[in-house]
Amino acid sequence: MSSDLRKLLEEVQSGAVSVDSALLELKKAPFEDLGFAKIDTHRKLRQGVAEVIYGSGKTPEQILGIAKRMEEEGQTTILITRLSPESAEKLSEELVLDYHKDAKIGIVGQLPPIDGQGKIVIATGGTSDIPVAEEAALTAQALGNQVVRLYDVGVAGIHRLLAHADDLMSARVVVAIAGMEGALASVIGGLVDCPVIAVPTSVGYGTAFGGVTALLSMLNSCASGVSVVNIDNGFGAGYLASMINHLGG
């Protein structure tokens, strides 16, 4: 790879290849094969965000191998999602790891400077939704965003939500996280002028069906501008909110 890269840079220097053409070639650069994982080292160049490690199902040794290689490639903030406490404990012996148990999020390195265009508001229906909300919030922060947390502001006491109208109406993106019947996303969608990302959670009694009821309710929202991610997918919501918040930057 190094000889190919040198040749490409020499061609740019000589004028044989344009800067835009070289950038396209770099974006298509190959991954690095560790045997148990194929690290997409050029993802940040191609997509604007470096690869994130999904911890569930991986051994601590595998996560460590991936994270160390990312550090060697110059990645200063490494996000690890769905990381168990047991794996986090072992990783802490080798890495400077900031572990958030409720969210099952591990962050290696420092959070980056805030470079998003505005603020992302993370709102939950209840306290039981906070683990999913923290996954979304920490993901957004690890991607360079200002995050405002509004927890336990569900429709069972709508005045709690309305008390934060200024935060909601000044947001660039709102992530609405709720279980039960998932009504929070529609209510927020009817108040704000920015995109709303709805996250159904698996919180609720029997007919909540592990989040399916909230998912269907959010998909059928009558409020415009509401999009929906998968059940308990705080990471996906935080990532998408960050993409929206960086548009035009």
**Domains of the chain, each with CATH number or no CATH:** 29-109 (no CATH), 119-245 (3.40.50.1970)
Q: How confident is the model at residue 151 (pLDDT cuts 50, 70, 90)?
A: very high
* Mean pLDDT value of segment 17-28: 75
Confidence (pLDDT) at 33: 64
Residue indicated by tokens 């965003």 = 145
Residues 211 and 111: their CA atoms lie apart, in Å, by: 31
Element (H, E) at 150: strand 146-150
Confidence (pLDDT) at 206: 94
Percent with pLDDT over 90 in the chain: 73
Residues 154 and 130: their CA atoms lie apart, in Å, by: 12
Q: pLDDT digits over 32-57, tens only?
A: 667 777 777 767 666 778 889 999 99
Residue indicated by tokens 């996280």 = 177
Q: pLDDT digits over 152-201, tens only?
A: 999 999 999 999 999 999 999 999 999 999 999 999 999 999 999 999 99
* Mean pLDDT value of segment 111-120: 94
Burial 183-208 (b: 16+ CB within 10 A, else e): bbbbbbbeebebbbbbbbbbbbeeeb
Q: pLDDT digits over 56-88, tens only?
A: 999 999 999 999 988 887 888 999 999 999 999
Query: Is pLDDT of 3 > 90?
Result: no
Query: Is pLDDT of 244 > 80?
Result: yes
Considering the entire predicted model, what is its pTM? 0.85
* Mean pLDDT value of segment 113-136: 96
DSSP 70-129: HHHTT-SEEEEES--HHHHHHHTTTS-EEEETTTTEEEEEPPPPP--SSEEEEEESSGGG
